[in-house]
Structure 1
Amino acid sequence: MKHGCAGAISQTSLSTVQNNMGVIIGMDEAGYGPNLGPLVITATVWDIPQKPDDINLWEAFADVVDQAAPTAEKIHVADSKQVYSPSKGISQLERSVHCLLGLNGDSPRRYTELCHRLLGCDLDSEDCGPWFENCDLDLPQKIESEAIPEISARWRSCCQTHSIGLRTVVSDIVTPRRFNRLLAEYGTKGVLLSKLSMQLLSRVIDFDHPQPTLVIADKHGGRNRYDELLEEIAADRFIVRETEGRAASSYRIGTARIRFQTRAEEHLPVAAASLVCKYVRELSMELFNHYWQKQLPGVKPTKGYPVDAKRFRQEIAAAQAAAGVTDEMLWRER
C-alpha cells in the first residue's frame, strides 16, 4: 500500500453541519493478533451539534441502528466480534458497513475502490503481495446492493434531524511486509500499533478547532500511558494528563480530549470503526485465500490467526517457494 497520501475518504456529501458545537472521533483496529493478512486501523469522524460528552448517538440513531441484533428495518452496529463470526458470515457486517458509507453517498463496487477511498490513495501491489495483483472483488459480496440506499437514506434523515454529520472515514491497511519493516524499527508490535494509530489520528484531528473534539479509542494492550506518543502529533502544544489507569487514560491537547479506554466499542463512533476494520480485513483474506487456492487447489482457507496460520504456512510451503513469495511478504513476525 502507498501511505502518507493526501486526502481522506468520503468528505461528507451531506450538508455541512452549520455552527456545529463538537466533533467525535472513534478509532479501532482489526487483525492485531494474526500472523497472516493485514492489520487494519480505522477512524470515523462525526460532527455533532453539542458538546461531545452531552450526546448519545445510539439514541439519535435508534430508528435505524440496533446494538443487539439486526432487523429488516435496522442495521447492526456494535463491536465487530458481535456482528461478524465465521458461523454468522459476512452479510450483516457488510450491510452495516455499506450503509455507513452510504451516509456520504459512497457506494464502492470493488475492493480496490473501497481501499482507495479509505486510504486516500491506490493500493501498491509490490507491498501487498501477489494476491492483490490484477485481482479484485465485486462489492457487496453477500447482500443485495438495492437495499442499501433506502437504509442509508433513513440514517441520513436521522442525521439531519439531529444535526449530525459523518465527516469522514479513514483507514490504514498494514500489510505483513510493511508490518515487519515497522516492527524492526519500533521494536514491539504494541508500539507499532500505537504509533500507527497516532499517525492515522493526525490525518483527521484539529487540535485548534474552535469547538471541542473528543477522541475515543480502545486501549492498546496493557498500555496506560500515552502522552509520549501524543507528543509526536501534538507539535509544540501542551499536553494535559487528566487520568491514567486500567479503565481509561485521558489527555487534553488544545480543544481536544483524547481518551483511551476499555470497551471503547460501547461508543457508536468506535463500533463503526470496528466494523470497517473487520470488513476490510475479511475481504483482504478472501483475496489471499483465493490466490493460494489457485496455487494449491484444495488447501483449506485460513483466517490467519496463529495456530491455523502455522498449519496453512506448512501446507503452502512448496507452492510458496514455487511462486517466489518471500516470508517477509507472507508472514508477520509477531
Structure 2
Amino acid sequence: MSYLVAVDENGLGPRLGPLIVTAVTAKCEGNGAKVAFGRPGRAFSERLGDSKGLVAYGDSALGEAWARALAEATGRGRDAADPDALFAAFSLEPATELRAHCPSDHERQCWGRETESFGADDGILAKVRKDLGRLAKKGVEIVRVEVALVCTAAINRAVERGESRFVVDLHAMERLVLSARAAVNEDVVAACGKVGGYDRYSDHFGPLGGRLHAVVCEGRARSEYQFPGVGRIAFVRDADETHLLVGMASLVGKWVRDFMMERVVRYHREADESLPMASGYHDPVTTRFIKQSALLRRKRGVPNHCFERKAIGAG
C-alpha cells in the first residue's frame, strides 16, 4: 500500500482572479499506483485529463462533478449545500485567514456567494461516481482533496518582495504535499505539474527549504527529489495529461478558479451590466473588462492591488 499525492495549479498566468493549487491524495494497492500515475485509459479519458482540454471557461460542470463526487467519497464536504461550502471544506486555510487582508467594504468582490448554486446535472455526476468506483476496483481509493487559494493581493505582495508567481505556485504545492503527509502519517509519493521553466528546484523551495533531501533527477521533463520524513516529490511536464490523478486535481482546481473569477465579474457587473463576462486571462474580453471598469472601480474605491496582478518590476 502507498499514498500518492497529485498536485496541479489553475490560474498561474491570468491578469485577474486567484491562483488555485489542488492536491488529490489516493491510497493505492496492487497496480493502483500505475493506474493513478499513468495516462487515463479509454474508460476515463473523456472525463479525466488536462482541464484546459476538457472544459472551457463558463463550462465547469465536469470539474464541479468531480469535486462533489470526491467530497462524497472522502467525507470532506459531503454535506456542502453550495460551491462556497464545498470550497471551505477543501480549503487548506480557514476562511478567516484567507480574508484577513480583504478591505471590508469590497470583500464581496471575492467572497460574495449570493446566487451561487451547483450546476452539474445528475447524468455527469453519475458518470463520475462510476469512474471513482472503477478506480477503486483497480486499487485507487481517493482519501483526500485539498485546495490552496492565493488571491490577487497575496500574489501582488509576493511581487513586491521580488518573488515571481512561479515561486508562489511552488510554495503552495509544497504546503499541500506537507499537509497530505501529515494527514496520512506516512511518507508519500507526490507528482506535481512542472513549475515554470525550472529544472532545478532546491534553491527555490520555501516550506521544504532547509530540509535534507537527495536529488533523484533534474531535467526538462522531470525533476524529482527524496525528502526523509516526507517522501518523493516529482515535478513533471504535462503531468495533467500523463498522470490520471493530476488530471483529476486539475479539473477540481479549474472549477474552483472559475467560480471564484465569476464572483469578481459579478461584483462589478452589479454596478455596470454592460461589462463583459471575462475569464481573467490574457484575452481581448478581459482587456475590455479591465478598461471598461476602470472609472467605476476608482469611484467605488476598489484597491487595484486586490483587482489586477502586478508583473515583476511593475510600479
Alignment partners' CA distance in 2, 1:231 and 1:207: 20
Please report how far the alpha carbon of residue 140 of structure 1 lies from its aligned counterpart in structure 2 after TM superposition: 1.5
Say yes or no: does 1:102 pair with 2:78. Answer: no
Residue 58 and residue 247 in structure 1: after superposition, are their counterparts in 2 closer, same or farther (change >3 A)?
Answer: closer
Q: Does 1:253 align with 2:230?
A: no
1:55 aligned to 24, 34, 43, which one? 34
Of residues 192-201 and 241-250 in structure 1, the stretch that sits farther from structure 2 once superposed is: 192-201
Q: State the partner residue of 1:222.
A: 197
Per the alignment, residue 138 of structure 1 pairs with: 116
| In structure 2, C-alpha distance between the alignment counterparts of 1:306 and 1:153, rounded to whole Å | 35
Instruction: Tell me the equivalent position of 2:137.
Output: 161
Q: TM-score, normalised by structure 1?
A: 0.79
- Say which of 290, 296, 301 aligns to 1:324: 301
- Distance in 1, matches of 2:124 and 2:195, equals 36
Q: Does residue 1:113 correspond to 2:88, yes or no?
A: no
Relative distance call for 1:199 and 1:184 in structure 2 (3 A) is farther
Report the CA distance shift for 1:287/1:297 in structure 2 as closer, same or farther (over 3 A).
same
Q: Write out per-residue CA displacement over residues 10-64 of structure 1, whole angstroms, 9 at most, x where no aligned residue.
A: xxxxxxxxxxx20111110011111111110111111111487x5213889969x
- Partner Cα distance (2:28, 2:142) in 1: 9
TM-score of the pair, normalised by structure 2: 0.83
The C-alpha deviation readout for 1:253-273, integer Å capped at 9, x for no partner, is: 126211111111111111011
Moved more, 103-112 or 171-180: 103-112
Contact 1:28 1:42 in 2 (8 A): yes
| 1:93 pairs with 2:68 | no
1:200 and 2:158 correspond: no
Q: Is the CA contact 2:109–2:264 (under 8 Å) kept in the aligned structure 1?
A: yes
Question: Does the 8 Å CA contact 1:111/1:139 hold for their aligned counterparts?
Answer: yes
Q: Which stretch of structure 1 is more off in the superposition, 157-166 or 324-333? A: 157-166
Give the match for residue 310 of structure 1: 287
Contact 1:112 1:136 in 2 (8 A): no
For 1:126 and 1:224, how far apart are their aligned partners in 2?
Answer: 34
Instruction: Name the Cα RMSD after superposition.
Output: 3.0
Deviation per residue, 1:60-108 (Å, 9 max, x gap)? 9969x521x2xxxxxx11110121124x823333333333333224253
Name the CA distance, whole Å, in 1 between partners of 2:154 and 2:137: 43
Paired letter, 2:263: L
1:201 deviates by 2.1
The answer to whether the 8 Å contact 2:269/2:275 transfers is yes
Q: Does the CA contact (< 8 Å) of 1:28 and 1:43 recur in 2?
A: yes
| 1:214 Cα offset (Å) | 1.4
Distance 1:188 1:62 in 2: 36
Give the conservation status (yes or no) of the 8 Å contact 1:219–1:260: yes
Task: Pick from 2, 5, 8 the counterpart of residue 28 of structure 1.
Answer: 8
Secondary structure of 1:43's partner? strand
CA, structure 1 residues 271+126, in 2 after alignment: closer, same or farther (shift >3 Å)? Answer: same
Structure 1 position 129, deviation (Å): 3.7
Query: What displacement does 1:190 show?
Result: 1.9
Distance 2:288 2:221 in 1: 37
Distance 1:156 1:281, change over 3 A: closer
Q: 1:41 aligns to what? A: 21
**Contact 1:26 1:216 survives alignment (8 Å):** yes
Answer yes or no: is the 8 Å Cα contact 2:38–2:244 preserved in 1: no
Distance 1:215-1:147 versus aligned 2 partners, 3 A rule:
closer
Query: Could you say which residue in structure 1 is the equivalent of 2:214?
Result: 240
Q: Bigger CA drift: 157-166 or 201-210?
A: 201-210
1:125/1:132 contact within 8 Å kept: no
User: Contact 2:200–2:218 (CA<8 Å) still a contact in 1?
Assistant: yes
Q: Which residue of 2 aligns with 1:11?
A: none
Look up the SS of the partner of 1:233 in the other structure.
coil
The 4+ residue runs of structure 1 with deviation greater than 4 A are 58-63, 150-153, 206-210
Structure 2 gap segments, 5+ residues each = none
Q: Is the 8 A contact 1:99 1:152 kept in 2?
A: yes
Query: In the TM superposition, what whole-angstrom CA distance separates every residue of 1:219-255 from its partner, at most 9, and x where no partner exists?
Result: 111101112344742764x311111111111111126
Tell me the equivalent position of 1:81.
52
In the alignment of these two chains, the number of paired residues is 300
For structure 1, the residue ranges without an aligned partner over 5 or more in a row are 1-20, 70-75
Q: Distance in 1 between matches of 2:111 and 2:136?
A: 41
Distance 1:264 1:58, change over 3 A: closer
Question: Do the aligned residues in 2 keep the contact of 1:42 with 1:277 (CA within 8 Å)?
Answer: yes
Percent identity over the alignment is 21
Q: Give the secondary-structure state (helix, strand or coil) at the position aligned to 1:29.
A: strand
Please tell me whether the aligned partners of residues 171 and 206 of structure 2 are also in contact (alpha carbons under 8 angstroms): no
